[in-house]
Structure 1
Amino acid sequence: MTRRTLMLSAAAFALMPLSALAEMIDYAPGSAEAAIASGDTVFVDFAADWCSTCRSQERTIEALRDANPAYDDAIAFYRVDWDAFGNGAFAQSLNIPRRSTLVMFRNGAEVGRVVAGTREADIRALLDLGL
C-alpha cells in the first residue's frame, strides 16, 4: 500500500457516517443463531443481491438507521444470503417463505417479521420492536 492510498483511505474512513461503521453482519451458519440464543436483540434480513425488493428494503433500513442511531446501539443486524442459505437449516427452522423476509428477535424469541414489504412505516415498526 502506498502512502497516498493509505492517506486517502484514512480520509474516506474519517468522513464516513457513523452508521456505515455498523454494517450488516454477513451470516455464517450458527452466527445469528448464537446471538439469538444469547438473548441479544437481532434483526435478520434474508436477501439476494439480484432481488429488487431486497434492495428497496435495504435502502429503507439504511435510511432509518442513519436517522436513528438507537437502532445500531440496540440491535445486531445480520444479512443472510438467500442464494447460499435460503434452503439451509436456519431459514427452514424459521419457516422463511422467501427472500426479502425481515425478522426481529428479542430475548431469544421472534417478535415480528415483514415478508416482501417495502413500506417505510412497516420496516420502522419492525425496527422499533428492537428498541
Structure 2
Amino acid sequence: MNRRSLFALALAAIIAPVSVFSADFVDYSPGVIESALEDGKTVFVDYSATWCGTCKRQERVINSLRAEDPAYDDAMTFVKVDWDTYKNHEVTVFRNIPRRSTLIVLRGDDELGRVVAGTSNAQIKELMDTGL
C-alpha cells in the first residue's frame, strides 16, 4: 500500500465517526422540543448557523464527547436550531437566546444549564453532564 492510500484510509477512519454523530441531531421544527420534554426526555439544544466558526467548533466538541460516552445519547435528545431561520422565532425569543453558538440543556420546565459561545471541551462536557 502506498503512502497516499494509507493516508486516505487513516483520514477516512478519523472522519467517519464524527460524521455519523452529526446526523444524530434532530433538525428543529416547531413543536419538536416541547414534544420531547412532554415525553419526559432531556433535550440538548444547539442554536447554530452553518457559517459560524464557533458553532462548528462546538459541534466538533459535542460529537467527540458523544463518541467517547454513549450515555449522552441514551440520556438526551439533541436538537439543532438553525439561527438564520429561527433567530426571531418563539423557540429563541422565549428562552432569551442572545446569539448563535448558544447551547442549552432542558428537562421538564427547567433549563439545567447554558453555554454561550464557549468552545472548551471542559465547559461543554460540564453542560452535557447536567443532562445525565
Normalization by structure 2: what TM-score? Answer: 0.82
Aligned twin of 2:108: 107
Deviation at 1:108?
A: 3.0
d(CA) in 1 for partners of 2:26, 2:109? 18
- Deviations along 1:85-112, whole A, 9 cap, x unmatched? 1110110000000000000012331100
**2:95 aligned with 1:94:** yes
Aligned to 1:82: 83
The reply to whether residue 59 of structure 1 matches residue 51 of structure 2 is no
Provide the aligned C-alpha RMSD in A: 1.8
User: In the aligned structure 1, how far is the partner of 2:66 from the partner of 2:87?
Assistant: 25
Residue in structure 2 matched with residue 45 of structure 1 by the alignment: 46
What is the number of residues matched between the two proteins?
A: 116
What does residue 20 of structure 1 align with?
Answer: 20
TM-score w.r.t. structure 1 length?
Answer: 0.82
Unaligned runs of 5+ in 2: 1-15
2:42 maps to a residue whose letter is T
Q: Deviations over 1:25-84 (max 9, x none)?
A: 000011112212333100000000000000000000000000000000110000000000
Gap runs ≥5 in structure 1: 1-15
The ranges of structure 1 where at least 4 consecutive aligned residues each deviate by more than 2 angstroms after the TM superposition are 19-22, 36-39
Report percent identity of matched pairs: 53
